[in-house]
Amino acid sequence: MALSHCWVDGVELTAVPADDRGLNYADGAFETLWCEQGVIECLPLHRERLGRALQVLRFAQPLEVAYRMFSAAEAHLATITHCGSARLTVTRGSGPRGYSPPSKTSPRYVLSTTPLSVDPALPARCGFAAVSWAEQPQLAGMKLLARTEQVLAAQEAMERGWDDAIMLDGGGLVVSSSRGNIFIFKQGKFVTPALSRCGIAGTRRQLLMATVLPELGFEVIERAISPEEVASAEGLLISNALRGAQPVISLNERAYDLNAMPVSRIQTALRECAASCAG
């Protein structure tokens, strides 16, 4: 098994300057990646989302920066033939005290790897988190560094003995789990929350919606979902880059029949789709 590695701006290092604006103001974004034999799955989707995040943060030349950082990440991960998860963080770089970014900034990247084996088929026991998403329509969908609410929801899940927690927005509508997007299965169709006020628009959510589920013959609808609708659905899936599509076996006292949806067909199709989207 490969060891963990960490590179900071091209150098194998395990520290970042204390004046990094990512640390001081959460001024940056990141991508969680899945790699097979040194190849980043869904690279174009991750790069595009990172570019959009840097654009929203008004980095100079955001798309070029995302491209450059991903090229570096690709090269590092290929060198070590990495299998497992990797994280690419891009911050605004170092800066003096104060919210205002320096007029000339040098974005910094941190690339770290974790040799990780997760079994995506392992069904998750879940509950509803007490903490809700912060609502910010102007930044919805982005994977910025500011992840306080998901940390609190994950902590709550751990303390309550759940594998993951389902999170709502401030208005009480369902958004996601603490670490992935969700899809409910209902009358032969999949429904996933619209992420107009908060949430992260996942790369695997994108594949499931645009390709995987339609190709398996399922309609996918994006709209508002209430907690009651999740609890009364026939099935519930959580998607992210590391686990693919993970079925939920229980949500508080509600138990789901794992045979209500063709879980392994979806998982296989998503895995194949992600592997073929290695840009």
Positions touching a second copy (CB under 8 A) are 6, 8, 13-27, 30, 32, 57-58, 85, 87, 89, 91, 96-101, 103, 110, 112, 114, 116, 131-139, 144-155, 157-158, 170, 178-179
Least gap, CB of 105 to a second copy (angstroms): 10
Rounded Cα gap, residues 257 and 261, in angstroms = 8
User: What's the min distance (Å) between Cβ of 57 and a second copy?
Assistant: 7
For residues 272 and 130, give the distance between their C-alpha atoms in angstroms, rounded to a whole number. Answer: 36
Strand partners, 56: none
Residue with smaller CB distance to a second copy, 137 or 188? 137
**How many CB atoms neighbour CB 156 within 10 A?**
18
Q: Are 5 and 11 in contact (CB under 8 A)?
A: no
CB of 104 to a second copy, least distance (A): 12
- At its nearest, how many Å lie between a second copy and the CB of residue 158? 5
DSSP per-residue letters across 53-69: HHHHTT-SSHHHHHHHH
Select 242 or 269, whichever has its Cβ closest to a second copy: 242
Is residue 124 within 8 Å of residue 238, measured between CB atoms? yes
Nearer to a second copy, 17 or 214 (CB): 17
Q: Which is nearer to a second copy, 27 or 41 (CB)?
A: 27
**Do residues 29 and 144 make contact, with C-beta atoms less than 8 angstroms apart?**
yes
